[in-house]
Amino acid sequence: MLCESCKTICVPEPSTGKYQTFLDPFKSSFKQMKASAKAGCRCCALLTYYLESKAEFHKYELATVNAAPVYLRWWRGGGVEGGGAYVYLNPQGWESKSLLKVNLEFFTMRDMPGADCGTWTMWYGVPAHPLSESSVEMAKAWIEECGTSHTLCGSSEHSLLPSRLLDVFPTDGNGTVCLIDSCMVADMRGKYATLSHCWGQVERTTTTGDTLALMQQGVPISSLSPTFRNAVQVAQALGIRYLWIDSLCVIQDSPGDLKTELSRMAGIFANGYLTIAGPSSTNSQEEFLRERQAGLHYVQLGEPPFNLYLRKRVQSFEDEIQNAPLNRRAWVFQELQLSRRILYYGVNNMIWSCRKGWRREDSIIGAFKPQVQTLYHGQQQIMASRRTSKGKSTNEVQSLIRKSNWYHLVDEYSRKQLTYPATDKLLAISAIAQEVRRLTGDTYLAGLWKSDIVNGLLWRRSLVVYADISKSEMNGFVALEGSGTPSWSWAAYDGTVETHRWRHEGSDVEELVTLKSASVDDSTVPVLGGNITLDALCQEIVFDQGRKVDTVKILGDGLRVKDCEIKVTLSEDTKLTIIFDLAEERNANTPAEVYTTMLGADKRNVIDALTQRL
């Protein structure tokens, strides 16, 4: 049942036909709402549960919370946007900042008769369990549609298989999985799923030299780490026989096997039929197939057939996927970029992502949201440019590098977390580099590209835009000791970089430098050094003696240093901004030789320059 207050939600007033969207107050006190819930009001019970579930709720005395009035605000949507609501109370009065607020949303049940809810909601309800029959059927339909109608994604049903795979449907019994060599499969081709996951600092099931024979004989699914067990369950539900999990399909204590399989990482994820991911799991001991609160806690507004329900607002795509623990890992970044199609099992939603776009399980609209600034969005642009041009001049290859979205990918990658950045900085993006090299035919130089060397050199540390930047943030960009990566590459440093803002795709830019030579000992795996020789105009910047770097002189004009930037006048019409990446450069106590190298200039006389302390 619903109390009289809850019956007015989403119902027009009989006398005017208008909607009262702000109930002021909804309940005179939280105590009154709890009493209404106890008397049988389903909506009051749900709102009480949501408010009491907030961590901040328990910071206040119960008597104080009980006396606070409860407010409810709700609205209808317009166009393709649905309505929404929120419930809140303020235990310590409006002068304080003690607001307890829960965001809500309306939804309707799929395939049920009832009122037209189009202006109220854009969401369907979701089943409580992610492997419910309806969720599995939806996932199968998405896979079928993608494989048959998405040209960019392709079917990948007859891909060359990785060296080893888990067989999740072994013939020798139920409840087990076994590790097989791909040579056991006819033609070594077929379809397989991959798992993208967070390892975490926990014990997990692995294949080693000692356990290899046991894994090949078959082990109970129940003996696998929870994340791996869930991946097997998904593959079985979708009818995908083979599954690749790095911890189980690569011999973890064999340096030779690790090196060989790591070099094949690009192909393993790019050729996989489906990548399975649990974005909220922080380690292999966490299950991602958990009951979904959005499918357990909700209330129907009005009586049947009024097909409108209320629940706590489900996380957005950004919170559910992009800001999740999985997406913070640098190693995962290339796995997800290379995958043809990904099925995310989030906290409250199953989310589909492929090279065409992404969609949510609970979306009424069901349309794809396009993918932008990805490797394969760039591939589309590359394919289009090749259809309109013959051959590949240097300028055309340069254009392909920019269209591949490499610079945007580097910016995003630099924000990801690495446990061992000195050894893994280039390694964890090497599979993407291999794919860009395949698409463009260019030479890779430890994070830069030979045909677009000017733009490649113009990276800088990411600058925080607000004024009150902390000292730790200013000094948080550091050189990676012992990495072997040349200092002119962004990969030689630990910290966030910006490269994309310096691209000049489509602009009239005159390059003021000639590349004489460039070489790197090994371009995609940990390097031992490298060099670039440029023919360009260099100009010395002379600093004042005996002071920190807070005054600079160039061509006789002195200017103050502000934060990590120095404004310099080169001529009457030309100014130069110098950005010091490292704290030791910015805070040096002794004079040093600093040179600026002019790399390019556009028609507005904006000069791109590389400044170095020798």
Give the Cα separation of 2 and 8 in Å (integer). Answer: 10
Kindly report the number of other CB atoms within 10 A of residue 12's CB atom.
Answer: 11
Please report the pLDDT score of residue 58 as a whole number.
Answer: 86
Tell me the range of 301-310, 367-376, 509-518 where mean pLDDT is highest: 509-518
Higher pLDDT, residue 247 or 527:
247
Please report the pLDDT score of residue 40 as a whole number.
Answer: 94
If phi > 0 it is left, if psi is from -120 to 50 it is alpha, else beta; for residue 418 that is beta
Please report the pLDDT score of residue 551 as a whole number.
Answer: 39
**Three-state DSSP class for residue 192:** strand
Q: Residue 552 — very low, low, confident or very high, per pLDDT cuts 50/70/90?
A: very low
Supply φ then ψ for residue 410, to 5 degrees.
-65, -45
What is the mean pLDDT of the segment spanning 159-177? 86
Please report the pLDDT score of residue 208 as a whole number.
Answer: 95
Higher pLDDT, residue 605 or 409:
409
Which residue's structure tokens are 């130069």? 576
Q: Residue 468 — very low, low, confident or very high, per pLDDT cuts 50/70/90?
A: very low
Please report the pLDDT score of residue 584 as a whole number.
Answer: 66
Given a cut of 90, whether residue 435 has pLDDT beyond it is: no
What is the mean pLDDT of the segment spanning 442-471? 76
Sign of the dihedral through C-alpha 586, 592, 598, 603: positive
Tell me the range of 20-29, 71-80, 268-277 where mean pLDDT is highest: 268-277
Using the 8-state DSSP alphabet, how is residue 521 labeled? S
DSSP for 199-254?
Answer: --SS------TTTHHHHHH-EEGGGS-HHHHHHHHHHHHHT--EEE-HHHHS-TT-
Given a cut of 50, whether residue 467 has pLDDT beyond it is: no
pLDDT (tens digit per residue) in 226-238: 999 999 999 999 9
pLDDT (tens digit per residue) in 571-582: 666 666 667 777
Q: Residue 385 — very low, low, confident or very high, per pLDDT cuts 50/70/90?
A: low
What is the mean pLDDT of the segment spanning 55-76? 87
Given a cut of 90, whether residue 463 has pLDDT beyond it is: no
Please report the pLDDT score of residue 163 as a whole number.
Answer: 94
Please report the pLDDT score of residue 559 as a whole number.
Answer: 33
What is the mean pLDDT of the segment spanning 536-545? 68
Please report the pLDDT score of residue 560 as a whole number.
Answer: 33
Please report the pLDDT score of residue 82 as a whole number.
Answer: 66
Given a cut of 60, whether residue 561 has pLDDT beyond it is: no
Higher pLDDT, residue 61 or 549:
61
Given a cut of 50, whether residue 547 has pLDDT beyond it is: no
Residues recorded for the chain = 614
DSSP for 286-346?
Answer: S-S----GGGTS-EE-SSTT---EEEEPPPPHIIIIITSGGGGBHHHHHHHHH-SEEEEE-
Given a cut of 80, whether residue 421 has pLDDT beyond it is: yes
Give the Cα separation of 294 and 274 in Å (integer). Answer: 26
Given a cut of 60, whether residue 466 has pLDDT beyond it is: no
Helix (H) / strand (E) element for 402: namely helix 394-403
Alpha helices in 425-509 (DSSP H): 430-440, 453-457, 471-474
Given a cut of 90, whether residue 388 has pLDDT beyond it is: no
106-141 burial code (b ≥16 CB/10 A, e <16): bbbeeeeeeeebeebbbbbbbbeebbbeebbebbee
pLDDT (tens digit per residue) in 480-531: 988 889 989 999 999 889 886 555 555 566 788 888 888 887 655 667 788 8
Please report the pLDDT score of residue 277 as a whole number.
Answer: 96
- Based on C-alpha coordinates, what's the Rg of the chain? 29
Please report the pLDDT score of residue 581 as a whole number.
Answer: 75
Q: Residue 96 — very low, low, confident or very high, per pLDDT cuts 50/70/90?
A: low
Using the 8-state DSSP alphabet, how is residue 162 labeled? P
Mean model confidence pLDDT for the chain:
80
Given a cut of 70, whether residue 553 has pLDDT beyond it is: no
Using the 8-state DSSP alphabet, how is residue 417 labeled? B
Please report the pLDDT score of residue 434 as a whole number.
Answer: 87
Please report the pLDDT score of residue 500 as a whole number.
Answer: 63
- Which pTM was predicted? 0.83
Residue type, 346: G
Q: What percent of the chain has pLDDT over 70?
A: 75
Please report the pLDDT score of residue 17 as a whole number.
Answer: 53
Q: What percent of the chain has pLDDT over 90?
A: 33
Listed in sequence order, the residues at least 6 apart from 572 whose beta carbon sits closer than 8 Å to its beta carbon are: none
Given a cut of 60, whether residue 610 has pLDDT beyond it is: yes
Q: Are the C-beta atoms of 504 and 599 separated by less than 8 Å?
A: no
Given a cut of 70, whether residue 39 has pLDDT beyond it is: yes
- Among 9-23, 285-299, 397-411, the least confident range: 9-23
Please report the pLDDT score of residue 474 as a whole number.
Answer: 52
Please report the pLDDT score of residue 220 as a whole number.
Answer: 94
What is the mean pLDDT of the segment spanning 328-352? 92
Given a cut of 70, whether residue 356 has pLDDT beyond it is: yes
What is the mean pLDDT of the segment spanning 585-593? 58
